[in-house]
């Protein structure tokens, strides 16, 4: 599926799995919270907008990335950096997913807030989360990343994080034990990944006339990073500070809010909020 962007480039929503390596130029828009991994200790999903000569061409997911163990030359890239990197198609159904060779990543520049970002992204904003979810439920190869403008943000809630599952904790323990035994990994950070204190959710309504509301979990790196910054605060103080930042400030009525959303490989009908 293709459409024309505001800038003249063709926006590509692939319908078949890419074959072979490619070097991609990307505006980084999403850095999700880290999750346990048996091979990497912890992995982060990074996503962004594929860039053509003058504008956006579609979406891309880079996975897996372990930020703690990146080469020094690449570890500093941030959201809204423009980067180029060599990639291989990932071995999964989602068509936007690529495995990056992080040693080849180069940061070309940074897109400042907010006018230039909005000009670039406006042409690829969707308004129907319902349609995106329906297509993904019917076909695991349907679009798995999007930027959706809510019609109405109805609420924000936090609940205690239950901690890592036994399976997730086993992945962390196995990786840390592997590092302890590897004499060539002396410089690696061996601190086990800690679970955040809270899980967060936005409740919202998209512009689809049949929408019965969405409540989606927040997977944003910054959501977890703020919790770590508030680690010494009481639950009540941390709760208030997180709500103030992620609901009262970011979702204030005067802001033009849109949600970066992405689904899960094993449950393509389940979308989370990867950034705001």
Q: Would you identify the CATH topology of the domain 2-124?
A: OB fold (Dihydrolipoamide Acetyltransferase, E2P) (2.40.50)
Handedness of CA 91, 217, 44, 177 (dihedral sign): negative
> Which of 41, 10, 12, 46 is CA-nearest to residue 28?
46
227 phi/psi in degrees, rounded to 5: -60, -40
pLDDT digits 0-9 by tens, 65-124:
887 767 665 667 899 999 999 999 999 999 999 999 999 999 999 999 999 999 999 999
Which of 10, 43, 2, 21 has its CA nearest to residue 98? 21
Per-residue pLDDT reduced to its tens digit, 126-145: 999 999 999 999 999 999 99
The pLDDT assigned to 76 comes to 72
Window from 59-68, 102-111, 199-208, 244-253 with minimum mean pLDDT: 59-68
**pLDDT exceeds 90 at position 5:** no
Cα dihedral: 74, 24, 271, 5 (round 10): 130
Residues of the chain with pLDDT > 90, as a percent, come to 71
Q: 107-141 as b/e, with b when 16 or more CB fall inside 10 Å?
A: beeebeeeeeeeebbebbebebbbbbbeebeeebb
Q: What is the pTM of this model?
A: 0.90
Query: Rounded to whole angstroms, how far apart are CA atoms 79 and 81?
Result: 5
Residue 179 has pLDDT above 70, yes or no: no
């Amino acid at each position: 599926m293709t459409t024309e962007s505001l800038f003249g480039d063709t926006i590509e929503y692939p319908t078949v799995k890419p074959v072979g390596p490619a070097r991609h130029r990307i505006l980084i828009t999403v850095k999700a919270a880290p999750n346990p991994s048996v091979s990497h200790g912890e992995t982060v999903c990074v996503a962004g907008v594929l860039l053509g000569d003058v504008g956006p061409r579609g979406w891309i997911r880079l996975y897996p990335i372990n930020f703690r163990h990146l080469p020094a030359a690449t570890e500093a890239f941030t959201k809204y950096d423009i980067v180029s990197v060599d990639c291989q198609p990932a071995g999964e159904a989602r068509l936007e997913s690529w495995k990056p060779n992080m040693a080849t990543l180069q940061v070309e520049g940074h897109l400042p807030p907010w006018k230039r970002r909005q000009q670039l992204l406006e042409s690829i904003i969707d308004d129907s989360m319902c349609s995106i979810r329906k297509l993904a439920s019917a076909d695991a190869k349907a679009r798995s990343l999007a930027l959706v403008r809510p019609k109405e943000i109805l609420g924000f809630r936090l609940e205690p994080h239950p901690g890592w599952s036994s399976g997730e904790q086993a992945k962390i323990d196995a990786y840390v034990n592997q590092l302890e035994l590897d004499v060539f990994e002396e410089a690696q950070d061996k601190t086990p990944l800690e679970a955040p204190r809270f899980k967060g959710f936005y409740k919202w309504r998209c512009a689809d006339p049949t929408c019965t509301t969405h409540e989606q979990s927040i997977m944003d790196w910054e959501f977890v990073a703020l919790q770590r910054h508030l680690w010494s605060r009481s639950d009540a103080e941390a709760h208030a500070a997180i709500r103030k930042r992620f609901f009262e400030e970011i979702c204030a009525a005067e802001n033009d809010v849109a949600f970066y959303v992405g689904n899960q490989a094993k449950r393509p009908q389940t979308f989370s909020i990867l950034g705001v």
